[in-house]
C-alpha cells in the first residue's frame, strides 16, 4: 500500500495546482485592459482616417444631387415631353467628339431632370491607366449639355476619389480597405467595453448629470457609439468588400455558390460588317426581361475586340435601384444572346453580395436609408473628438497626481483606466 503524503506535501501540491490554474485562466480585468488598449490605440492612430472617410461618405450619399446643384447648366435637362429616339443619343455624343473612339457606355437618366451620361476611357500613355471622360446629353432634345468633364476634376468626383483611394490609386484603395478592417475592430471592441454588467443596464443607456468632465465626455462617446454601432459596422464591412471583393466573395463561397463576373467575355468583330443598332440590342434585352427597366448600356469596341453589347436592366424587386443587376450580353454583329445574368436566379451568396453596395450607399432602404447613412457618417467625428478629449483630460490628471506630494495623492479624484475611450 502506498504511503500517504504529508500535510506539507499536500499543501505544496495544492499551491502548484492553483498556480497552474491561474496561468491557464485569463483574468477578466486583464482581458478588458487588452481590449481597452486595442480600442484606444486604434482610435487614436486611425481616428483621423475614420473621420475623413466617413465624412466624405456622407457627401457621396447624395453626390449626384450635389453635382446637379453645383452644375445645373451641365448635368440637368432643359427640355420636356418624350425622349428622343435612343439611337440619337450616342450619335450626338460621337458627333461632339469624332476624334475619340467610343463611347464605352451610356447611363440612362434617373429622373425627369437628369441627362444621359456617356463615358469615354481615354489612354494616358501609362499601362492600364485611363482618363475617364463624361459627356452629358439632354434626353428631350439630344443636345450635348456638357462635353469632356474629366472624372476627378469636379468636386463630387474629387470627393469620390478621396473616399475610395485617398487619391493614391491602388495603394490608397488597399489602405482604405485596411482602415475599414480596423473600423470593424474599433466598433467591436467598443461594444465589448460598453456591454453592461448585471444590474447596470439602465445606466449603460443614460447620461448622469453633474459628473466630471471625463465622465461627461465618456457618456457622449458611449451613447454616440451605441446609437451608430450597427450602421458603422455595416458600412465598415461593405467597405471591406469594395476594397477586397475577391476575399469577401471567397469567404461567402464557403457557404453558398457565387458565380464569377464575365470579365473576359468577348466576341470577335466581323471585319466587313457594321454592328447592330443600339435600339435592336435593347430590344433583344427586353425580350429576355420584358418587365425590367433599362438602366445602362455598354457598347462594342472593334479596336479592343469586344464585339458585345452589355445591357443592364432592373427587374421588379431588385435591391439596387440605380444600377440594375440583371444583365444581357449580346453579340453586336448577329444580335444573338451570349450570356444572361438574372436577379431571380441568384443563389443566396450572390444575393448577399448584391446587397453590399446598396447597403454601403444607403439605397437599399430608399431615401430613408440614404439619410441614415449620411447622418451616421458624422458619428466617427463625435467619437474621435470625445475620445481625444478624454485622453487629454486623463493625461493632465495623471500629470497633476505625479506632481503632488505622496500624502496628498490619496485625496485626489481617481481617474479610471477601465473606462473606454
Tell me, yes or no, whether 88 lies in a domain.
Answer: yes
Predicted pLDDT of residue 123: 87
- The verdict on 164 and 250 lying in the same domain is yes
Tell me, yes or no, whether 2 lies in a domain.
Answer: no
Predicted pLDDT of residue 24: 52
Domain boundary (327, 346, 365) is at: 346
Domain boundary (316, 346, 376) is at: 346
Tell me, yes or no, whether 12 lies in a domain.
Answer: no
CATH number at residue 313: 3.10.450
Tell me, yes or no, whether 127 lies in a domain.
Answer: yes
Predicted pLDDT of residue 8: 43
Predicted pLDDT of residue 16: 45
- The verdict on 197 and 120 lying in the same domain is no
Tell me, yes or no, whether 1 lies in a domain.
Answer: no
List the pLDDT tens digit at each of the 421 positions of the chain: 444 455 444 444 554 455 455 455 556 678 888 888 899 899 989 999 999 999 999 999 999 999 999 999 999 998 788 999 999 999 999 999 999 988 999 999 999 999 999 999 998 887 778 899 999 999 999 999 998 899 999 999 999 999 999 999 999 999 999 999 999 999 999 999 888 877 677 777 777 776 788 888 888 999 999 999 999 999 999 999 999 999 999 999 999 999 988 877 888 777 778 899 999 999 999 999 999 999 999 999 866 667 899 999 999 999 998 889 999 999 999 999 999 999 999 999 999 999 999 999 999 999 999 999 999 999 999 999 999 999 899 888 888 888 876 555 444 444 444 444 4
- The verdict on 64 and 166 lying in the same domain is yes
Predicted pLDDT of residue 79: 79
Range of the domain at 421: 26-71+158-259+355-421
Predicted pLDDT of residue 190: 93
- The verdict on 284 and 414 lying in the same domain is no
- The verdict on 62 and 168 lying in the same domain is yes
- The verdict on 84 and 204 lying in the same domain is no
Q: How many domains does the chain have?
A: 3
- The verdict on 181 and 245 lying in the same domain is yes
3-state secondary structure the chain: CCCCCCHHHHHHHHHHHHHHHHHHCCCHHHHHHHHHHHHHHHHHHHHHHHHHHHHHHHHHCCHHHHHHHHCHHHHCCCCCCCCCCCCHHHHHHHHHCCCCCCCCEEECCCCCCCCEEEEEEEECCCCCCEEEEEEEECCCCCCEEEEEEECCCCHHHHHHHHHHHCCCHHHHHHHHHHHHHHHHHHHHHHHHHHCCCCCCHHHHCCCCCCCCHHHHHHHHHHHHHHHHHHHHHHHHHHHHHHHCHHHHHHHHCCCCCCCCCCCCCCCCCCCCCCCCCHHHHHHHHHHHCCCCEEEEEECCECCCCECEEEEEEECCCCCCCCCCCEEEEEECCCCCEEEEECHHHCCHHHHHHHHHHHHHHCHHHHHHHHHHHHHHCCHHHHHHHHHHHHHHHHHHHHHHHHHCCHHHHCCCCCCCCCCCC
Amino acid at each position: 500500500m502506498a504511503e500517504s503524503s504529508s500535510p506539507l506535501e499536500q499543501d505544496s501540491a495544492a499551491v502548484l495546482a492553483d498556480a497552474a490554474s491561474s496561468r491557464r485562466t485569463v483574468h477578466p480585468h486583464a482581458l478588458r485592459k487588452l481590449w481597452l488598449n486595442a480600442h484606444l490605440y486604434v482610435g487614436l492612430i486611425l481616428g483621423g482616417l475614420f473621420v475623413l472617410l466617413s465624412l466624405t461618405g456622407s457627401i457621396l450619399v447624395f453626390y449626384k444631387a450635389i453635382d446637379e446643384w453645383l452644375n445645373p447648366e451641365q448635368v440637368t435637362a432643359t427640355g420636356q415631353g418624350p425622349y428622343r429616339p435612343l439611337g440619337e443619343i450616342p450619335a450626338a455624343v460621337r458627333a461632339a467628339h469624332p476624334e475619340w473612339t467610343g463611347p464605352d457606355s451610356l447611363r440612362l437618366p434617373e429622373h425627369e431632370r437628369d441627362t444621359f451620361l456617356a463615358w469615354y476611357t481615354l489612354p494616358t500613355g501609362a499601362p492600364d491607366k485611363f482618363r475617364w471622360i463624361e459627356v452629358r446629353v439632354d434626353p428631350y432634345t439630344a443636345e450635348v449639355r456638357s462635353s469632356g468633364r474629366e472624372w476627378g476634376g469636379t468636386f463630387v468626383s474629387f470627393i469620390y476619389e478621396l473616399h475610395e483611394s485617398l487619391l493614391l490609386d491602388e495603394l490608397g484603395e488597399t489602405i482604405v480597405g485596411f482602415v475599414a478592417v480596423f473600423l470593424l475592430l474599433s466598433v467591436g471592441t467598443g461594444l465589448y467595453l460598453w456591454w453592461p454588467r448585471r444590474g447596470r443596464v439602465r445606466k449603460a443607456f443614460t447620461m448622469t448629470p453633474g459628473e466630471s468632465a471625463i465622465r461627461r465626455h465618456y457618456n457622449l462617446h458611449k451613447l454616440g457609439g451605441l446609437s451608430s454601432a450597427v450602421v458603422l459596422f455595416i458600412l465598415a464591412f461593405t467597405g471591406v468588400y469594395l476594397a477586397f471583393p475577391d476575399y469577401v466573395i471567397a469567404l461567402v463561397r464557403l457557404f453558398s455558390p457565387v458565380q464569377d463576373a464575365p470579365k473576359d467575355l468577348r466576341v470577335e468583330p466581323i471585319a466587313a460588317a457594321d454592328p447592330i443598332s443600339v435600339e435592336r440590342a435593347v430590344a433583344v434585352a427586353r425580350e429576355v426581361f420584358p418587365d425590367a427597366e433599362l438602366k445602362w448600356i455598354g457598347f462594342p469596341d472593334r479596336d479592343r475586340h469586344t464585339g458585345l453589347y452589355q445591357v443592364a436592366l432592373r427587374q421588379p424587386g431588385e435591391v439596387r435601384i440605380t444600377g440594375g443587376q440583371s444583365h444581357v450580353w449580346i453579340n453586336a454583329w448577329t444580335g444573338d444572346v451570349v450570356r444572361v445574368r438574372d436577379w431571380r436566379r441568384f443563389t443566396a451568396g450572390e444575393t448577399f453580395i448584391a446587397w453590399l453596395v446598396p447597403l454601403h450607399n444607403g439605397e437599399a432602404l430608399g431615401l430613408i436609408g440614404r439619410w441614415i447613412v449620411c447622418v451616421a457618417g458624422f458619428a466617427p467625428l463625435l467619437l474621435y473628438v470625445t475620445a481625444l478629449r478624454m485622453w487629454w483630460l486623463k493625461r493632465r490628471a495623471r500629470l497633476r497626481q505625479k506632481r503632488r506630494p505622496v500624502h496628498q495623492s490619496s485625496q485626489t479624484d481617481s481617474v479610471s483606466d477601465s473606462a473606454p475611450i
